[in-house]
Structure 1
Amino acid sequence: MIVSIRRIAKVAMLTGALLTAGCSQTSGDASAKRTEFNIGWSIYAGWMPWPYAQQSGIVKKWADKYGIKINIVQVNDYVESVNQYTAGKLDGVTVANMDALTIPAAGGKDTSAIIVGDYSNGNDGILMKGAGDLKAIKGKQVNLVELSVSHYLLARGLSSVGLSMSDVKTMNTGDADIVGAFASPDVTAAVAWNPQLSTMKAQAGAKEVFSSADIPGEILDLLVVDTTTLKANPNLGKALAGIWYDTVALMKRQDAEGKAARAGMAKLAGATPEAFDSQLTTTYLYADPKAAVAATSAPALVTTMTRVRDFSFSKGLFKGAGSADAVGMSFPGGKTLGDAQHVTLRFDESYMKLAADGKL
């Protein structure tokens, strides 16, 4: 079973990252031209191409092309991987869009999202017992990992049926405990992500009433890199784009080589090939760089990140900020959100475009 932990579970971890980010960056080192880099990852279906690329030699192929060395480093805990990146111990990391905003960017670390790798297309869902209509959730307790993407999904789901967060009571429940909690007769509503979601859906009387497939493109999984490091070492971005698209093209193949690649990724994730393939059915991978460039350049991304930042601010995830505009974000075409003089999250499509144009 794949342990999907690309979510933030504890306020203390979030605020701790925000408070320490500004003083823990190694900006002097980041601005230097270098030949060796460390990219962190944690286990999630959409991120398994990275360790497989290292194992299979794809990382070395592209790193050698640009005369650099790239270490793909596993961090067992997702939160810790993002914190290590924020502290300057990693040059890049796999991260969800909401967490890229609320941890490194909100903490003042200038961060560039250079690979939009996938979006959750059903990996996250709202479940109820004894009701098949989300409107029936009004007045109920909802178990979930508070201040996570599950919390965001709940807010989006409620909004879709004319309800708000004040219409429900949330109960913070860790991802390790959510399956057991939902099995209790007292718990009638919950929000979860895979693989826990699949297990919970199989419980008697459980019905999925809303999922990330209802808000396609909003829960994004990214590869982000320190902006200063990237500016000093653009070949790092080129190599990472080459690695990603080479590997995803291989895993999407339906021949023996594609099957073997997916089986290899499943093993690295501690999953069976069947379980891994099941995870992929609810993960929309941007295998085509042209599609990734289009998604990153579309007005819909600005709309999504506006919703994400407004939700994050409303939950106190911009520590000490007076408004949601405190954190600046930039997008292709010169569009910005928030403080244009303090942009710390940049959606940079240039390396994906090089791949799309065959110029890597």
Structure 2
Amino acid sequence: MHHAESRPARCPRLLGNPVRTSPSRSPFGAAFSRFRKGLGALGLGLALVGASTPALAELKVGVSDWPGWVAWYVAEQKGFFKKHKADVKLVWFANYTDSISALSSGQLDANSQTWSDTMGPLAKGLPLKAVLVNDNSAGNDALMVSGKIKGFADLKGKSIALEEFSISHFVLATALAKNGMSQKDVKVVNLSAGDAAAAFLSGRVDAAVVWNPWVAQIEKSGKGKALFTSKDMPGLIPDLLVAQDKAIKAKRKDLVGMIRAWFDTEKFIRDNPDEAAKIMAKVVGMKPEEYKVFLPGTRFFDAAANQTAFNAADPKSLLGVAPTIASFLLDKKLIDGKPDAGKGIDASLLTEALGK
């Protein structure tokens, strides 16, 4: 797969009370950049709420603004952690990049982050493991084009606004590659997601890659349509729960319980979308009806989807998509060296959570 300057949670986030207009999906290091240069800040001092070594008793988990992660507050409020005997403390990050650094430096036991943003720490050899897939972006990110553009051939030489080095940039690169083109065939205009949407709506650019709520706003305006969305690149934008190796050893029971709580949460969101949207909207300072825009474009992963994601033989699994993601990051010089994705995946907790 999602940015506070950004998109719903995939962009940057500011520590403190979340007030947002869209989830984060900004540039790497911002919060919805799902890919970011912020990874270079690993090891630097962090401004983290209660920045101390995680207490032995509880599982300290970072959360920032993206539907698949904000959903953890549904688990908390509906008592799913308690049901599964998971002693979990959710720590909100208004700045997503800070949460990545906090996990990498050991100030968190686990964090809500993308697979792409986990590549940098893995390339540095940090002891982290993906233990759960919360969701995939499945339409929340889209390449929006004007009516005169009927297909990818019409994009040649055209201007496309997007936030460089963000998930949006990755979406464009993937869309072009799937259609026999490269970024050299188009003119990329670097703008924040909101500015990219405004530039498109005013006719200053021919296309824009944005995420919701801007996708919905452009469609509603009648001035643009989606030529390609994150639904067309399954498996490539996974949002995860990533844990420290030491937490997997010392707090395994809580992590397994948290994974079980996630499956109750996914079912609750599916069966009770209005109540779920109300809980999630309150966390990020939005109205429930505004937040519901994000739900259709977010494919929340149930147990079966997670089993597929952790099946190394499946091309859409975490291991299967890793080379494509790493290639983009290396090409844009966003990571140093090739990550060993296999070392960053632990399916054993999922297996235990499912009782197999």
**Shorter-chain-normalised TM-score: which range?**
0.7 to 0.9
CA 1:172 to 1:83, structure 2 compared with 1: closer, same or farther past 3 Å? Answer: farther
The aligned length equals 325
Q: Which has the larger radius of gyration?
A: 1
Tell me, yes or no, if the aligned pair for 1:178 and 1:192 is still in contact at 8 Å: yes
Whether 1:348 and 2:343 are equivalent positions in the alignment is no
Q: In structure 2, what is the Cα distance between the partners aligned to 1:20 and 1:77?
A: 14
Structure 1 residues 260-319: Cα deviation after superposition (integer angstroms, max 9, x where no partner) = 3342223323333333333221211112x1331123204212331111001110110123
Residue 40 of structure 1 corresponds to: 62
The 1-side partners of 2:204 and 2:172 are apart by 19
Q: Which of 14, 24, 40 is equivalent to 1:5?
A: 24
1:84 corresponds in structure 2 to 102
The equivalent residue for 1:271 is 286
**1:327 is aligned to 2:339:** yes
TM-score relative to the length of structure 1:
0.81
Q: 2:73 aligns with which of 51, 57, 71?
A: 51
User: What secondary structure does 1:113 align onto?
Assistant: strand
Is 1:294 aligned to 2:308, yes or no? yes
Greater CA drift, 116-125 or 13-22: 13-22
Larger helix fraction of residues? 1
How do 1:152-171 and structure 2 match up within 5 A? 152-171=170-189
Question: For 1:107 and 1:199, how far apart are their aligned partners in 2?
Answer: 40
Q: 1:6 to 1:189 in 2, by over 3 A?
A: closer
Deviation of 1:193 after TM superposition, in Å, equals 1.1
1:5 maps to amino acid: S
Deviation at 1:242, TM superposition (A): 2.0
Cα RMSD of the aligned pairs, angstroms, is 2.7
Q: Deviations over 1:29-84 (max 9, x none)?
A: 98x9922231111122222221222233323343xx25xx3211111122222222
Q: Percent identity?
A: 29
1:2 deviates by 5.5
Equivalent runs, 1:1-360 vs 2, <5 Å = 3-9=22-28, 14-18=36-40, 20-21=42-43, 34-62=56-84, 65=85, 69-102=87-120, 104-129=121-146, 130-254=148-272, 259-287=274-302, 289-297=303-311, 298-300=313-315, 301=317, 302-319=319-336, 321=337, 326-330=338-342, 343=343, 346-357=344-355
Would the aligned equivalents of 1:123 and 1:211 in 2 still touch at CA under 8 Å?
yes
Bigger Cα displacement from structure 2, 199-208 vs 13-22: 13-22
Deviations 1:72-110 (A, max 9, x none): 1111122222222223222211112111213x3234322
